[in-house]
Structure 1
Amino acid sequence: MNSAVTTTDELRVACWNIEHNGRPNKPGDPDRRPTARKLLSELRPHILLRQELTGADADGSRALYEEATQIGGLIPFMAPATPESPNATGVMVDPEHFEVASSHDQITGMWHPACNPVVRLKGCRKPICLASVHLSPWDPTQRASEARRLTFLANGGRTALFGGDMNSYPHRVETESVELPDWDAVKNTDPGHYERRTIERGGRRVPDTVPDEVFTGSGIFTELAHHAATVLKQPDAMQATASLWRTDQGHRSRIDRLYCTPDLAPALLRVEVLDEDPVAEASDHALLLATFSLQSMRRILLHSPT
């Protein structure tokens, strides 16, 4: 793992789906939570977008608060789990840099409710609408609906920053360096995955890229890794993110992504995809780390209309 915490004027945003929150799935499985928390504490993100906070609401959300404290005294938020999925989403923010304006759970129409706190960078009037997102793993139609619902994050000129497991693929294939799975092979090894991750267009089955089209096709949001690769000339920003463990669903794909409203994009310094140990010991998903210029972000928020 190459990334290291610096003392420069940077603001770090981490996004990570830790499978089932690192808890043992069956007897004999290791508890991966200490590894994940140690790694995050070393990275010291100022904003952490988490998916699969499975079981973190038990005992008065004890595990949620333990994680936030161990990472660096962050303020945690968590959307509720549902009968369909115990894998809750969460957001944690650094109180040294941010003040909390409000907190919301976007539940209607979402397979996994999206955790949606609104924060202010200290000294700035305009807030940032944050969200941790985990789109439906089962249904492309559901994912498309969820993506359209999430466009509200940018309504009325709001500044937004969100990310998560999109369970779908980037749509600008001409700029992608990661090939898509061999769907004929996947159909043979995991036909259910084939059905859930492809859609019909022009009489043939193609990968589901609709959520990314909704987010970026009309310019509502900027996809941070794409911006880093094409504008900042950082091709490694578009590395694959999952699965780090499974091989029966095709090779790794770029299903975990970060987005922001276009006003924040000029403040982006770099995007890193961390997929080596200890990340791969803790989860089947790579960890995304986006680093912004704190000074540039502050300038943007100070001069933007509220």
Structure 2
Amino acid sequence: MSRQITVLSWNFENNGGDDAAKRLRAHELLVSLNPDLLFRQEMWRADADGNKILYELEAVLGMRGWLGPQACTAIFADLELFHPVREWPVTGPMWVLPPTALAMRYLPAGRDAAPLALASYHLNYASGTTRLAEAEWLSTWADKKWTTPAGESIRMACLAAGDNNSYPIPGVEGDPALPVLEEIENEPHRLHRSYVALDGTRVMDTRPDEALRTAGLEDVARHRAVKYGNTAAVSRTVNACETHGPDARIDRVYATSDLLAAVSGFDVIEVSEEDSDHHIVRFTLDGDCLSDVLNQQAHALAELTAS
């Protein structure tokens, strides 16, 4: 039976703040879900005192961690399955909260397989204009190249997960409905989550989703819901509240289309509001299928070169 690779993404609120016990409980919860890859957001202060908190979390999780610029985001991985082959410490000029971005080799796929491009990101909270620019820069990870030992260049498959602070384009059964702008009580939040359309009306912000999907990064939950009827995939990731509006699917996972066949499951693990304001997104990858995907481009290139 093929190994199932568990991938989690979580915006754990303020990284627990100054509450070390809360942070420990949160990461023990993650351990209970047996992750092989973990995308984290709001890693505040994990870089303080020589990355002290980062290393504490590595010990709890039993995984190695990579902390993005300004401790905004992180990626953790099981080194028995994944091995880093490069990092991108500079991710573009437009980020308020820079992502963690790196390429990793999936070891069971073999040394000739292409690596995976990975990004853990957190789009801007207050500016729809900035969010759109950030999403456009995030799309560049769908076009990252890897040079083979033979000197040939191939495009890497990409997984990106994070907090979008905006909404998916509606139209999928089970997806939370878009908020009604005028029903959002917090007036600054109306601005933060909307933009002025070409007809002059102010509408809820779905532009990052549209931009990423235009660039070939598919909303994995949407894909699972549409193709397999898995409506649990499009469950809320933040709860309704009086000031900010109804349930929403703010946290999402995007993947290049070549990886969709490897996705074997998708759901959302709800946590209490005392623990975090975001729920945990979980999906699984079929290990054998992932190996096939990562080897496919290398094999195709070898055949092309031989011909």
Whether the TM-score (by the shorter chain) exceeds 0.5 is yes
Report deviation, 1:219.
5.4
Report the secondary structure of 1:113's partner residue: coil
Task: Give the corresponding residue for 1:197.
Answer: 193
After superposition, the Cα gap between the structure-2 partners of 1:215 and 1:249, relative to the gap in structure 1 and judged at 3 Å, is same
Distance 2:73 2:95 in 1: 11
Task: Give the corresponding residue for 2:102.
Answer: 117
Distance 1:276 1:195 in 2: 28
After superposition, the Cα gap between the structure-2 partners of 1:41 and 1:191, relative to the gap in structure 1 and judged at 3 Å, is same
Q: 1:167-210, CA deviations, whole angstroms, 9 ceiling, x for partnerless residues?
A: 01001435553112232121xx2010000101111221111001
1:64-213 alignment to 2 at 5 Å?
64-72=54-62, 74-81=63-70, 88-105=72-89, 106-122=91-107, 123-124=110-111, 125-155=113-143, 156=145, 157-175=155-173, 177-186=175-184, 189-201=185-197, 202-213=199-210
After superposition, the Cα gap between the structure-2 partners of 1:180 and 1:30, relative to the gap in structure 1 and judged at 3 Å, is farther
Q: Is 1:267 paired with 2:262?
A: yes
Distance 1:41 1:17 in 2: 16
Which of residues 28, 38, 44 is equivalent to 1:54? 44
Q: Is the 8 A contact 2:24 2:60 kept in 1?
A: no
Report deviation, 1:8.
6.5
Q: Which residue type is aligned with residue 203 of structure 2?
A: V
Q: Is the 8 A contact 1:166 1:256 kept in 2?
A: yes
Structure 2's unaligned 5+ residue stretches are 146-154, 302-307
Q: 1:261-282, CA deviations, whole angstroms, 9 ceiling, x for partnerless residues?
A: 11000010111111144xx442
Q: Is the 8 A contact 1:78 1:90 kept in 2?
A: yes
Report deviation, 1:160.
0.6
If the length of structure 2 is used for normalisation, what is the TM-score?
0.87
Report the secondary structure of 1:296's partner residue: helix
Q: Is the 8 A contact 2:271 2:280 kept in 1?
A: no
Distance 2:244 2:21 in 1: 25
Structure 1's unaligned 5+ residue stretches are 1-6, 82-86
Report deviation, 1:68.
1.8
Q: Is 1:16 paired with 2:1?
A: no
Q: Identity over aligned residues, as a percent? A: 31
Distance 1:117 1:207 in 2: 32
Task: Give the corresponding residue for 2:34.
Answer: 44
Task: Give the corresponding residue for 2:212.
Answer: 215
Q: How many residues align?
A: 284
Q: Is the 8 A contact 1:10 1:291 kept in 2?
A: yes
Distance 2:85 2:250 in 1: 30
Task: Give the corresponding residue for 2:233.
Answer: 237
If the length of structure 1 is used for normalisation, what is the TM-score?
0.88
Distance 1:112 1:79 in 2: 9
Distance 1:213 1:175 in 2: 18
